[in-house]
Amino acid sequence: MKKLLLLLTFIGIIKLSNAQGTWTQKADFGGNARCAGAGFSIGTKIYICSGGGTNDFWEWDQATNIWTRKADFPGAARGYAVGFSIGTKGYIGTGYDVSFNFKNDFWEWDQSSNTWTQKANFGGGAREGAVGFSIGAKGYIGTGSNGSYNGFYNDFWEWDQFTNIWTQKAHFPGATRDLAVGFSIGNKGYIGTGDYGSTSSTFYSDFWEWDQSSNIWTQKANFGGGLRAGAVSFSIGTKGYVGTGLSGWGSEYIDFWEWD
């Protein structure tokens, strides 16, 4: 099994200043050093959960630059989960635990009450290395791997916050993969990069747009940084951002790209 991979050790958090074009180091992450955590943001606060077989859950306040430990994630300690937010709620699901048991559970965290509630299990089954994002009151999870040699996915699922029901949508049309990037802009979702393989890997740079209104995927310009997996991504306004990652043993990156 691969997954000796990755990646971001959340020992600190940094912020890009558009005004000065400079990076400023912020307060170190409040928990222990780790990789393969999951995160999301709500308003001006950032949240990091799990990673490296942990289940602690932390909030960073942009105004105060202070980390505060919140209610621990009640599912099994894990890594390679997905995270996203809808309104004032955050969501964590999938991943695998320290015994390499793959998970399909899905949990909601309420910012106002600091409480976790288990929701309907992810409809696509247990996996790790999937991508997740939200559009409006809907959450989306797709791609990933179940840990077996040929156990890579290109399915794509929608979760409705109001009904707590998972519905399968049009398959991601690229090759099956895990450790891709995903984000949303308006009513469009985006998935790209990633890898396929267990003892040796095939890396991807393709990049696709999904339209929520039509349930149709459209291929867009390949990611400008080339082949890679395990990168990070997010969106701000009408722009998407992808950076870091790897494309083989010893081939890690520090580049950072904007997609218009």
Model confidence pLDDT, tens digit, residues 111-144: 999 999 999 999 999 999 999 999 999 999 999 9
Q: What is the sign, positive or negative, of the torsion defined by CA atoms of 5, 166, 135, 29?
A: negative
Residue 4 has a pLDDT of 34
Architecture of the domain spanning 14-259: 6 Propeller (2.120)
| Beta strand 239-243 pairing with 232-236 | antiparallel
Residues pairing with 110 in the sheet: 89, 115
Query: 204 and 194 in contact (C-beta within 8 Å)?
Result: yes
Residue 178 has a pLDDT of 96
Residue 248 has a pLDDT of 84
Query: CA separation (Å) from 17 to 39, 149, 235, 255?
Result: 21, 42, 15, 16
What is the pLDDT confidence band of residue 1, given thresholds at 50, 70 and 90? very low
d(CA 55, CA 223): 32
Q: Is the pLDDT of residue 199 over 80?
A: no
d(CA 96, CA 247): 22
Residue 20 has a pLDDT of 59
How confident is the model over 136-162, as a mean pLDDT?
95
Domain definitions of the chain by residue range: 14-259
Residue 213 has a pLDDT of 98
Q: What is the mean pLDDT of the chain?
A: 92
Matching residue, tokens 């393709």: 206
